[in-house]
Amino acid sequence: MGGVTSVERRRGPRAGNPGDTRSAIAGAALAEFAERGFARATIRSIAARADVDPALIHHYFGTKAGLFEEVLALGYGPAREALSDVVAGPREHAGERMARAILTLAEDPAFRGQILAIMRTAMTEPEVAHQAGGYVQQALLPALATLALGPDPRRSVSLAMSHLVGLMLARHVLGLDALQGSVDDLVAEVGPVVQGYLDGGTR
């Protein structure tokens, strides 16, 4: 808890650029939420980990809930960027692009760590699950739903995404032997299934 009561500016990221300070705080918050859960993490403990004054966190983010929204944006940010490329391409091959985007992102341990930290927290903290679900529903699904035909585009896209996230977990967390090998091979197998959902293979 040392140094919690004064703004510390020893290291680079927190010395100048407010954007870097925000990122440092959000990174510390992600680690705290993952380790201790949303309910038990405090602004004070996050401030100590980020080596900043708690008042600065209140200044930037308001409440703990506001801070968690930033953490979600940080975690989903790279996915959202990749998926804007997915959305930009032709609809007939969107399944392949979607599968490739998620599986490629998941090869990056840093991205994987963020997503898994959010998922782990969501599994034990109903409030976090609610917020994460809201974020997916408001930010990711509407963009992807433009790629889907059929009577219920959001359901089609949700089915497709659930498959890809489950695949990421089975490949990288459980480490199933049968799901190792190249991203290209997996995309060749899973892409058509995702495309099937996008083409309207729903009720």
Residues lying near a second copy in the complex (CB under 8 A): 34, 116, 119-120, 122-124, 129-130, 132-133, 136-137, 141, 152, 154-155, 157-159, 161-167, 169-171, 173-179, 185, 188-190, 192-193, 196-197, 201-203
List, in order, residues 6 or more apart from 96 with CB less than 8 Å away.
Answer: 187, 191, 192, 194, 195
Whichever of 48 and 117 has its CB closer to a second copy, that residue is 117
Whichever of 21 and 195 has its CB closer to a second copy, that residue is 195
**Minimum Å distance from CB 26 to a second copy?**
19
Whichever of 69 and 152 has its CB closer to a second copy, that residue is 152
Whichever of 24 and 194 has its CB closer to a second copy, that residue is 194
**Minimum Å distance from CB 56 to a second copy?**
28
Whichever of 105 and 193 has its CB closer to a second copy, that residue is 193
Nearest C-alpha neighbor of 64 from the set 102, 28, 111, 112:
28
One-character DSSP codes across 105-130: HHTSHHHHHHHHHHHHHHHH-HHHHH
Decide if 76 contacts 68 (C-beta within 8 A).
no
Would you report the helix, strand and coil content of the chain in percent, each value rounded to 5? 80, 0, 20
Decide if 51 contacts 44 (C-beta within 8 A).
no
**Minimum Å distance from CB 201 to a second copy?**
7
Nearest C-alpha neighbor of 119 from the set 160, 49, 168, 157:
168
**Minimum Å distance from CB 150 to a second copy?**
10
**Minimum Å distance from CB 23 to a second copy?**
23
Q: How many CB atoms lie within 10 A of CB 183?
A: 15
